[in-house]
Chains A and B, each alone.
Chain A
Amino acid sequence: MKCPRCVQRIHRAAVSCPHCGFTLADADLKFGAEEVRIGRLTDGAGILRRGERERVAAALDRVTQRFPQVFVAIYTGALGEVSHIRQFGFWLLNRSAFEDVPVDLPNEAGILITIDPESKAAGMVFGYLLDPFLEEADTFACLSRAHAYWLEGLYADGIVRLLGHLEAVLVKRSKQARKDPEYFERKVLPPPRLGELVRRIREGHRPGGERAQKTGKAVVG
């Protein structure tokens, strides 16, 4: 988990970035604090033609058919500096209301792909539902699949390719989660409180404690 502004690693329940202090409120200052109503496929930059829009919409539908808990949204537009694209994606997925997404699918289940054809950059953000299952490396792999197409200006082809790889990643993660749900649950468990942490450390260092019993080694108290 990284901060969308300073791209530093942050704690999984950080209220604000411990490095730069970033919160959604900072993004609100830049992009606005009001709710934004957009479509699931919003081509603000006008990079998709009619036929291409239909192809991309069909690919988006397919993701929702295979993963009924999830939806994918795409936003294209000029955002200015490249560094803003993370903050913008983070802000948009929290502040937007997708008009053509079923009501039973909250933004927590969303994956937002933001494409800025002006600065030629693209980013992905995802809701809390997918927090345990998607990692930055997965999103990077998806975006890499589209890179060659987007270099040539073939945005629709790149998006379809990206979504194809995203489906494969989600299939893999779903299967893994079915086999070992605890593994993914542990990734999102709330961090132990400080007092609890100290108690566990002391227990571990006490002779005959839980850890010593497990390992069978003498522990210095």
Chain B
Amino acid sequence: MKVAVFTGWLFGMAATLATAAAYEEPLLPSRDPQERELLEGAGWVAGTAEDGPVGEVPSPEIPEKFLPAYFAERPTAFLIDPQGLLGAEDFRDRLSFLNYHASDSSIDLYVYMIGGDQEIPGQLREEEMSERFFSEGRPAAIVFYYLGAPQRSALYLSPSITDAISAVEQQRALASSVMLAFEKLDPAEQIESFLVQMSIRIYWMERMLSGAPPSTDELPMVSRRVEMRQVKELSKQTNVQSLQVMAMKYAFPAAISLVVLLLLIAVNHRLRRRVIYRFPEFEVEPRLGGTHAAGVGAVISFASAHVPPASQRDQVPDYLRRA
């Protein structure tokens, strides 16, 4: 028995070894020697990240050379992108949209484009800067937008409208814009969605400034959620209106028909009440000596409610009843 088990084990091991010998591992990726030389010449060291030269750690802050373009004075354009983070076409489109917004709204929208991983230098305070540059002139909403990281965006309002628009409303505007931006993957598309939604929210702010509650009917553009809600409400309203229209359309003829029907029923009832009925007259032989009548009908007792008519149906003499 033991010999058989051992023999089986030997066969199993032999089969395993044969399988292992037949297996060939795939080759590891190798770099072209010329490319390797070029990279090493540029300071690349094996085992480090390929991006960027060795020893050069990217600064999280906006490079100093761009700071004046950002923060030296009140911007003259609505889109501030001195680093050229946006492509030329995207820049043109976004600026065009912001110009359109400015022409349509009493609150301008200024957008500072900042890299997604960049930081504004600590000595600069965006809030203070907004107060300094935008305390005069048309009211403005200032957005610091981090390309590819919309969640880092910040919104500030010019002092003239800060008191009128609550912080909650500002936060809500920013949150909804960020949410819309996140529905896109491409950073350029993200900022597009962000600006569209921010423009809508600014319109609401305008309404609040004028003292009128924002009416969804007059909104030039609405967010998708609001749009969906509106569509549902509109469909409900449409259904109700269509029912009302249908009711208005058919109510009068239906009422007339009903009245006519009731009149016909009433007339028919009256006519039937006036119909005269006659009986054929037959010769009947007198009975029991009665000259005029011998048709003895039923007798009913109403002495007690406990003796209903149903129990008085069989009218037989008492002596014929069962005990």
Interface residues of A, Cβ cutoff 8 Å to B = 1-4, 6-8, 10-17, 22-25, 65-70, 82, 85-86, 89-90, 93-94, 106-108, 110, 112, 119-134, 136-140, 143-144, 146-147, 150-151, 170-171, 173-175, 177-178, 181, 184-185, 188, 190
Contacts and interface: CB of A to CB of B under 8 A. Distances in A.
Among B289, B315, B316: residue with most chain A CB under 10 A: B289
Given A120-B301, A185-B282, A15 B287 contact: yes
Contacts of A132: 282, 284
A17 B290 CA distance: 12
A151 B293 CA distance: 29
B300 A108 contact: no
Contact of A3 (B276, B288, B301): B288
A23 B288 contact: yes
Given A7-B316, A188-B282, 20 more contacts: A1-B296, A6-B317, A8-B317, A13-B286, A15-B287, A23-B288, A24-B290, A24-B291, A67-B276, A67-B277, A93-B290, A93-B293, A110-B293, A121-B301, A123-B300, A125-B293, A133-B279, A139-B297, A147-B300, A151-B305
B283 A188 contact: yes
21 contacts: A7-B317, A10-B287, A23-B289, A24-B289, A67-B279, A69-B281, A90-B288, A90-B294, A122-B299, A123-B297, A123-B299, A124-B298, A129-B284, A132-B282, A139-B298, A143-B298, A143-B309, A147-B308, A174-B277, A174-B279, A188-B284
Contacts, number: 179
Nearest to A140: B298
B303 interface: yes
Contacts of B300: 121-123, 140, 143-144, 147
A133 B121 CA distance: 116
Contacts of B249: none
Nearest to B292: A107
Contacts of B295: 1, 125-128, 130-131, 134
B297 A17 contact: no
Contact of B278 (A16, A112, A123, A174): A174
Nearest to B312: A140
A195 B294 CA distance: 27
B292 A177 contact: no
Given A6-B317, A181-B280, A184-B282, A136 B293 contact: no
Contact of A120 (B273, B276, B302, B320): B302
B313 interface: yes
A205 B276 CA distance: 48
B212 interface: no
Contacts of B73: none
Contacts of A121: 299-303
Contacts of B315: 2, 7, 136, 140
B296 A94 contact: no
Interface of B: 273, 275-303, 305, 308-309, 312-313, 315-317, 320
A136 B297 contact: yes
A128 B284 contact: yes
B285 A13 contact: yes
A90 to B, nearest CB: 6
Contacts of B282: 132, 184-185, 188
A90 B290 contact: yes
A121 B304 CA distance: 11
The 8 closest A-B pairs by CB, nearest first: A139-B297, A107-B292, A140-B298, A24-B289, A124-B297, A174-B277, A144-B309, A120-B303
A82 B299 contact: yes
Nearest to A135: B297
A119 B296 CA distance: 19
A177 B279 contact: yes
A171 B213 CA distance: 73
B302 A93 contact: no
Contacts of B299: 82, 85-86, 121-123, 143
Nearest to A25: B289
Nearest to A143: B300
A90 B296 contact: yes
B316 A93 contact: no
Contacts of A93: 290, 292-293
Contacts of A174: 277-279
A69 B317 contact: no
Nearest to B295: A126
Contacts of A190: 285
A22 B288 contact: yes
Contacts of B293: 90, 93-94, 107-108, 110, 112, 125-128
